[in-house]
């Protein structure tokens, strides 16, 4: 199986899973609704955000438009990066990592570009990204003697995210962990000698 086909397969599977889950959540839950999957630390919590990954916001309506256009440009750049990585024969792990980042960015772009129009709440390019995974694994209060945050409640992990965010995070983490291995160009395979030519030489 060609490496380019594997990259396309990874991207297609991630985007499909991301969009199927978002569509189900969008059509079967209301904002703020929750389903406890495993105890109180793995929760499906329906929320939407106008900004970047994990619910971060960015400068109102103009910022939203800028961010969507920036995402589109970034995805185009990452797409070229996948082509370059494959063409230059970098390790397959790097191809997987960049494909995950591309798929995650594309998944969130689909929300930003089309969801406002599909669900009739905003013009093109102003849609909100659907998030649902919530892992409040640790909850408690900071000790009172701690500067700044003393006595305040803490929750780990607080951000709500989606499959696309997770794909981006996994891709980036893989690159950071294995960068020495990833950024090593594979040697070109040796050219196999033609059997017919070999027999003529020996004769």
Which residues have a catalytic role annotated? 131, 165
- Distance, CA of 106 to CA of 10 (rounded, Å): 12
Using CA atoms of 15, 18, 20, 21 in order, give the dihedral in degrees to the nearest 10: 180
- Distance, CA of 189 to CA of 173 (rounded, Å): 30
What Rg do the C-alpha atoms of the chain give, in angstroms? 23
Beta strands in the chain (DSSP E): 34-38, 42-49, 129-134, 138-141, 153-156
Kindly give the pairing relationship between strand 34-38 and strand 42-49: antiparallel
- Distance, CA of 130 to CA of 37 (rounded, Å): 18
Residue 81 · residue 101 · CB < 8 Å: no
Residue 126 · residue 116 · CB < 8 Å: yes
């Amino acid at each position: 199986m060609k490496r380019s086909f594997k990259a396309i397969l990874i991207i297609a599977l991630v985007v499909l899973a991301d969009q199927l889950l978002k569509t189900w959540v969008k059509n079967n839950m209301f904002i703020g609704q929750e389903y406890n999957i495993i105890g109180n630390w793995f929760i499906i919590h329906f929320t939407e955000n106008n900004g970047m990954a994990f619910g971060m916001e960015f400068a109102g309506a103009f910022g939203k438009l800028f961010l969507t256009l920036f995402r589109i440009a970034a995805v185009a750049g990452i797409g070229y990066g996948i082509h370059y990585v494959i063409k230059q024969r970098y390790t397959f792990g790097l191809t997987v990592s960049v494909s995950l980042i591309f798929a995650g960015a594309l998944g969130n772009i689909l929300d930003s570009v089309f969801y406002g129009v599909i669900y009739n709440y905003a013009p093109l390019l102003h849609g909100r990204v659907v998030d649902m995974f919530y892992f409040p694994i640790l909850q408690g209060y900071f000790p009172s003697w701690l500067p700044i945050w003393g006595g305040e409640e803490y929750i780990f992990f607080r951000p709500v995210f989606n499959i696309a965010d997770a794909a981006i995070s996994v891709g980036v983490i893989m690159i950071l962990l294995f960068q020495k291995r990833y950024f090593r160009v594979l040697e070109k395979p040796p050219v196999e000698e033609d059997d017919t030519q070999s027999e003529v030489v020996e004769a």
